[in-house]
Structures are given as structure tokens and as C-alpha cells.
Amino acid sequence: AQSVTQPDIHITVSEGASLELRCNYSYGATPYLFWYVQSPGQGLQLLLKYFSGDTLVQGIKGFEAEFKRSQSSFNLRKPSVHWSDAAEYFCAVGLRGNNRKLIWGLGTSLAVNP
């Protein structure tokens, strides 16, 4: 069965520090890969996505992610974190074909110290 693992439940970083959030998936083929962010009481906003091609993808708010097929990973990075980045981050995989079902990790809660 397909699954997504986000090993870090909670991460605290200082403002201006770099950030890496980990995501590993289990799926027989290369799925669609997504990172979403959720602020308290809000819906989900798409940060970036990988469908095919260049394995380093750029997203909004200065985020990037790298797809590594050999490690079944899609880690999210940001070189310098801002206090406004404090939120919950979710990694999700989508199945290829005529299927919109997304399988989600349990999320990583990011706190930013001033």
C-alpha cells in the first residue's frame, strides 16, 4: 500500500536559519509529489509540486524541494526561514492516472524562534 512518512513531527529553528523537512514515500512507481502548508485554522496552500523532469523544483515563498528516486524522498528546503513560515507542512503523493486521491504524511509542525 502507498504511504508517506514525515519523520519529524515538530521542528524548531531560529529565524534566518536554513530548513529541511523530510518526506519519504512508498509507491511502486514515481508518483506526483506535493508539499502543502497549513496555517492555524486555514486550508492547505500548495508550496510546490513535482510531476516529471528536473528533480529540483522551485516553489512559492522561497521554498524548493528535491526529488531523489533512489531514496524515495522529496525533501523540502529553505535557505533562510522567516517568522511567518511557522505553520504545519504536509507532504503528499498523488497516484498517476485518472485519480485525484492524495496520500498524506502526518505533517511537520514548524516553530520559528525570533
Partner 1 sequence: KAGVTQTPRYLIKTRGQQVTLSCSPISGHRSVSWYQQTPGQGLQFLFEYFSETQRNKGNFPGRFSGRQFSNSRSEMNVSTLELGDSALYLCASSLDREPEQFFGPGTRLTVL
Angle (CA) 54-19-114 rounded to 5° is: 145
Cβ contacts of 5 within 8 Å, gap of 6 or more: 23, 24, 25, 26, 105
Is 44 among the residues that bind partner 1 (CB under 8 A)? yes
Is 63 among the residues that bind partner 1 (CB under 8 A)? no
Distance in angstroms (rounded) separating the CA atoms of residues 106 and 93: 12
- The three grid cell numbers given for residue 31, joined into one nine-digit string: 508518483
Q: How far is the CB of 22 from partner 1 (least distance, A)?
A: 16
Is 80 among the residues that bind partner 1 (CB under 8 A)? no
Is 60 among the residues that bind partner 1 (CB under 8 A)? no
Is 23 among the residues that bind partner 1 (CB under 8 A)? no
Among 28, 29, 40, 43, binds partner 1 (CB under 8 A): 43
Three-state secondary-structure class, residue 6: coil
Q: Footprint of partner 1 on this chain (CB under 8 A)?
A: 32, 34, 36, 42-46, 49, 51, 90, 92, 94, 96, 98-107
